[in-house]
């Protein structure tokens, strides 16, 4: 697998107030202008013919997007699944683990609250140590 370095995004690429230093791109991330403009183009297309877009084109568009992402990450499209947000995706992974009494769940002090609660829940349910 080949990775290429990509320089950090310039502050001018975002719609953020220029007087704000925004550090929370994890939970409420701002969208770069090119991504925002592309999103707005799709939103306008949806609004022009919602039934056509959602009822007839949506599944094909989502399949094409999944195939493109699969090619980018060098896997098969069938290995990918859409989730509404990172917390849901991480919960799916956490709930798929077969934890037993005495197993240990290790996390850093950088873990965010929703996942802290997920690990505590799984620890209590399985007898694993968090």
Q: pTM, whole model, 2 decimals? A: 0.67
The per-residue pLDDT for 98 is 94
Alpha helical stretches, state H, 5-112: 33-48, 50, 58-72, 86-96
The per-residue pLDDT for 44 is 97
* Mean pLDDT score, 81-106: 92
Please work out, in degrees rounded to the nearest 5, the angle formed at the alpha carbon of residue 57 by the alpha carbons of 56 and 63.
Answer: 125
Q: Is 127 left (phi over 0), alpha (psi -120 to 50) or beta?
A: left
What's the chain's average pLDDT? Answer: 89
Residue that is written with structure tokens 């925004």 in the block: 22
Q: How far is CA 1 from CA 71, 73, 75, 125, in A?
A: 11, 9, 11, 38
Over the stretch 28-60, which tens digit does the pLDDT of each residue have? 778 889 999 999 999 999 999 999 999 999 999
Give the number of other Cβ atoms within 10 Å of residue 66's Cβ.
Answer: 17
* Mean pLDDT score, 107-121: 89
């Amino acid at each position: 697998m080949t990775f290429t370095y990509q320089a950090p995004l310039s502050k001018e690429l975002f719609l953020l107030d220029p007087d704000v230093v925004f550090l929370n791109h994890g939970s409420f991330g701002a969208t770069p202008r090119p991504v925002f403009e592309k999103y707005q183009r799709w939103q306008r297309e949806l609004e022009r013919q919602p039934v056509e877009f959602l009822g007839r084109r949506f599944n094909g568009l989502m399949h094409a997007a999944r195939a493109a992402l699969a090619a980018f990450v060098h896997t098969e499209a069938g290995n990918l699944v859409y989730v509404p947000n990172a917390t849901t995706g991480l919960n799916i992974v956490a709930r798929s683990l077969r934890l037993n009494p005495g197993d240990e769940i290790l996390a850093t002090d950088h873990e965010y609250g929703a996942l802290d609660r997920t690990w505590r829940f799984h620890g209590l349910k399985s007898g694993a140590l968090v």
